Structure 1
Amino acid sequence: MNVLSRSRKRAHPRAPWRTALWLMALSMTFPAWADCGDCAAIVRRFVAEEGFNGVVLVGRGSHVDYSAGFGVADAATDRALTADTPFESGSISKWIAAIVVMRLVQQGQLALDEPISTYLPDYRRDNGDKLTLRNLMTHASGLPNDMDDAIKRDPATRTLSIDQAEAVRRFASGDLRFEPGTEWDYSHSNWLLVKAIVERTTGRDYASLVDGYIVRPLAMRHSGTFSGPSLAVPGMAHGYRKLTPQAEPLDKPSPNFMMLAGGFYASANDLFTLANGLFSGKVLSPESMRILMTVERPAQHYALGGRTKTLSFGGKEHPVAWEYGSNGGFRMLVWRTIDDGHTVILMNNTSFDHMKIGGLATALMEASYR
């Protein structure tokens, strides 16, 4: 769906000390489930030391052990963050796209290793006869990242209103940089082709597939797809470069033709619902899940649209579905241990250091085993 930007109130300045007290006060106003004994202390210390503005959720299986919001979704109105506040998910959108593709594979409508010329006969034949969906979805296609290059040359590319075929022609039809399957190169242009294939094969727009296969069946209440500026989504968190000493908005629109690369939004509660539904077999068959989570590019831990890593928690190694996303001021991290269902979800809207987010996730995952 196309969305239109809304007018915004100018954020009022705050002294740093006042902002710190303000964030602490807001964090105290929302209930935090605390079955994870150490989680609250870990998070509150992190918020105090690092100025984290976001949402934290820790759970096991279908049970939320700890959940809390810290700070604001909108600095101009002091609207607080909660576990139901939607955030842009950035590249987690690619994992959502991979789930949709695997549903279509499961139904026999697509095949991962079929030349994409099968689905897009009008696409340049020399590339189309070599490329497969598996190549595209594992960033092993050799297709140059013309999409990102175009945005760097002209940021207004993000506001283009063109159909998928024209987007593919402009940004996903370059000469291959290497033989498909032989190397790895993270290219958003891959996902323009995946969207074109999915929509042409099904005769449906991608947004309706996400809604029909994922959002409605799992009763996700604050999730879906967007195009253009995300602030037209009801309740959406604003993105910021920083909040102190004065809020600096940082929003990067996502055009419809890039929806698979970064056009999904969700709340922390909904992402937890998604993790439970996906790993309990409510979305994909066991064989489709095995394919979705199997690492294709070992050096990058990359599977189909996301990563699977082995990490050590609670004195034991665990396979972990590991997804990170960012766009503008948004940062999002989701970890789910595949063997026993421990989950950590972190969401931030102030351009926070992703390495520090990873450190917090590690501490919370370890705490969930105590």
Structure 2
Amino acid sequence: MHFRPSWLGTLCLACTLALLSGCAVLDKTAGTRLIERHAPGDYSGVIAIREDAGSSLVVRASGLAVREQAQEHTRDTRFMTGSVTKWISAVTVLRLADMGKLDLDAPIARHLPELPAASGAVTLRQLLSNRSGVPNGLQEALRKDQSIRHLEIGPVAGALRFGGGALNARPGEKWDYSVTNWLLVAAVVERAGNRPFTDVVEELVLAPARTRDTGFAGSDDEEAVGMAVAYDASGTRKTPPTPPMVVASGTLYSTAADLVAIADAVYRTPLLSDKARKELMTIQVASEDYALGGRVRTIATGKSTRALAWESGVSGGYKTLLAYDPRDGRAVVLLNNTDMQQADQGRIAIALFNAM
């Protein structure tokens, strides 16, 4: 696992620092009590809240990160974030689009000419919204051979091996939450960026956001210092393998503070153009509240409504939710390592938004 010190990214962050300065209305004591009021007593993990971009992030850690060693969670404990990775992958694609290196609506054959004509004709927009029509070739292969979970090949090789099947729907018509879409996304990013997918994400998203504890996991990361171990309801370890080819789909680890920092960089700095931010918050699949790489969920808070970037993820027994209001920077993060229900995380997040 690669743990990176804080360092200044490629963008000027003076505007971010100004936005994040100021006195917190919801102080640490009040914020902690608020979290305790709405979180279950046996919650294992980290919950963080922030009233707005001018307030401090209040973080509460509880339970055990590593049960076998009675190691407690801290505010800096790292968790696998599951499909939150897809949202960060989408941000990376949008940065490349802003730079003129990718086009959301061009055929991906422009970058992957080896693909069959049908799958090469799909677009990044269709892949990022899980509407490509490309069948889940990786899942089909896994049904026949579970050893593929440990296959050490990168995104381009994975995309060409598993992403070229005959389409099962016309592109843009059918929702299919398929990991194979994301093999193709990562392969396109590697070709457009002319370097490994992880390096592109690091340079274009993680570094400008000044993250300290975020990166892509390897096969031995469950044992890494500072990483929570995931468990199921019976207390058995529940951590899936992380083959390199699925890097764009669900292999990112992070902390509560870093996830909020990434959201701040996306929505409150010049990291993305206004057009790109609009793309990120425009729902493509209404039945799923799905935009590009993540969901947009509208909730009622008092007399108003809030359209939230709603980024959730599952990775074995890790469950993650980042709920963020781009208008004012109000945020809730839940990181859990005991396989809790995503619906329960959602209820807690909405209750905290309302309570703030």
The answer to whether the superposition gives a TM-score over 0.5 is yes
Structure 1 pair 251–41 and aligned structure 2 pair: CA distance change class (3 A): closer
| Compared CA separation, residues 261 and 37, structure 1 to 2 (3 A) | closer
Give SS of 1:76's match. Answer: helix
Question: 1:47 and 2:40 equivalent?
Answer: yes
Deviation at 1:121, TM superposition (A): 1.0
Partner of 1:284: 272
**Which amino acid counterpart does residue 344 of structure 2 have in structure 1?**
K
In the alignment, does 2:184 pair up with 1:193? yes
- State the match for 2:292 in structure 1: 304
Q: Deviations over 1:227-257 (max 9, x none)?
A: 3343255411111113x6xx31111011110
Structure 1 residues 174-183 or 222-231, which shifts more? Answer: 222-231
Please give the alpha-carbon distance, in whole angstroms, between the structure 2 residues aligned to 1:328 and 1:62: 35
Question: 2: distance between equivalents of 1:37 and 1:250?
Answer: 29
Task: Count how many residue pairs are aligned between Structure 1 and Structure 2.
Answer: 332
CA deviation vs aligned residue, 1:6-47 (integer Å, no higher than 9, x gap): xxxxxxxxxxxxxxxxxxxxxxxxxx923448614414xx33
1:229 and 1:364 map into 2 onto residues whose CA distance is: 35
Q: Could you say which residue in structure 2 is the equivalent of 1:343?
A: 331
The structural deviation recorded for 1:199 is 0.5
> Deviation of residue 217 (structure 1)?
1.9
Deviation at 1:153, TM superposition (A): 4.2
Q: Which runs of 5+ in 2 are unaligned?
A: 4-26
Contact 2:131-2:171 at 8 Å conserved across structures: yes
Q: Which amino acid aligns with 1:268?
A: A
- In the other structure, the counterpart of 1:176 is 167
Name the counterpart of 2:62. 70
Could you tell me whether the CA contact under 8 Å between 1:230 and 1:253 is conserved in 2? no
Q: Which residue of 2 aligns with 1:118?
A: 110
Seen in structure 2, the aligned counterparts of structure 1 residues 232 and 342 have a Cα distance that, compared at 3 Å, is same
Aligned-partner Cα distance in 2 for 1:153–1:315: 53
Residues 277-310 of structure 1 show CA distances to partners (whole Å, capped at 9, x for unaligned) of: 2211242122211112111111111111011121
The whole-number CA distance in structure 2 between the counterparts of 1:144 and 1:47 is 40
Match of 1:19 in 2: none
Distance 1:38 1:230 in 2: 33
- Distance in 1, matches of 2:63 and 2:213, equals 19
Q: Measured at CA, do residues 219 and 232 of structure 1 come closer, stay the same or move farther in structure 2, by a change above 3 Å?
A: farther
Greater shift, 287-296 or 102-111, is seen at 287-296
SS in 1 for 2:68: coil
1:315 corresponds, among 292, 303, 306, to 303
Displacement of 1:52? 1.6
1:47/1:53 contact within 8 Å kept: no
Structure 1 residue 95, shift from structure 2 partner: 0.3
Matched, 1:57 2:52: no
Please tell me whether residue 84 in structure 1 is matched to residue 79 in structure 2: no
Native 8 Å contact 1:330 1:348 kept in 2: yes
Gaps of 5+ in 1: 4-31
Q: Which residue of 2 aligns with 1:23?
A: none
Q: Is the 8 A contact 1:172 1:192 kept in 2?
A: yes
One-letter amino acid of the counterpart of residue 62, structure 2: F
C-alpha contact (below 8 Å) 2:156/2:186 kept by paired residues = no
